[in-house]
Amino acid sequence: MTRLFLIRHGPTHAKSMVGWSDLPADLSDSAALARLSDYLPAGALVVSSDLSRAVETADAIQRDRQRLPHVQALREIHFGAWELRTWAEVDAEDPERIRAYWEAPGDVTPPGGESWHQVCARVNAAVDRLIAAHQGRDLIVVGHFGQILTQIQRAEMLTAEEAFAHRIDNLSVSEIALGPEGWQAGAINHLP
């Protein structure tokens, strides 16, 4: 069985859609980072998206755990022209598209961005490669809201709308596993 501990990066404090922009994480809550690191299995491998907010968070919780190279395919949703814009700003220009994107996730894309189905395909393939390369190992995957939801959707066999109902806080851990019986979900959005 391969267990995945999906960690959302530290907060950026941005009040807009942050996808592929490389904003730093606020890692000033050292007590929360210590609790998170203490909660995670000591022998797990650590991997993160290549965006600095995920890399810095992984650095902060790594301790003596082995680090794998950053994986670009574990990035957040690519928001294209909506990047770093607020819902209200985009809603004023393109209300039908932004509502369809968030309320019925699937094939709708932001201009120059990616659809929910594209995000799922990208992240699922990256996670599958990690599992195949490290079968039976615990993996700490430090990433992003959307990236974590793709795996919760897969493990719990949810619709996209059901997956989006999950709250994923910064510095939370969501646990899923792949074993002989298939995917299993454990604690979701746990704050140690």
Residues that are catalytic: 9, 76
Residues 6+ apart with CB under 8 A from 30: none
Distance between CA atoms of 21 and 4, rounded to whole angstroms? 25
Phi-psi region of 47 (alpha: psi -120 to 50; beta: other; left: phi over 0): beta
Residue with tokens 């992003």: 144
Provide the 3-class DSSP secondary structure of residue 183.
strand
Burial classification of residue 127, based on how many CB atoms lie within 10 Å of its CB (0-12 exposed, 13-18 middle, 19 or more buried): buried
DSSP H or E segment with residue 151: helix 145-156
In sequence order, what are the beta bridge partners of 176?
4, 185
